[in-house]
Amino acid sequence: MLHVTRLGCDSCGTELSGRFAACAYCSLSAQDRKILSAFLVSRGNMKVLARELGVSYPTARLRYAELLGRLGIEEVGGLHADNEPVDREDVLRRLAAGELDLDEATELLS
Local confidence band at 15 (pLDDT 50, 70, 90 cut-offs) = very high
Q: Inform me whether the pLDDT recorded for 82 exceeds 70.
A: no
Q: What is the mean pLDDT of residues 61-80?
A: 77
Q: What is the mean pLDDT of residues 53-67?
A: 88
3's CB contacts (< 8 A; 6+ apart) are 19, 20, 22
Q: 83: alpha, beta or left, given left = phi > 0 and alpha = psi -120 to 50?
A: left
| Cα-based distances in Å from 31 to 27, 63, 64, 93 | 11, 10, 11, 35
Residues comprising the chain, all counted: 110
Q: What is the mean pLDDT of the chain?
A: 84
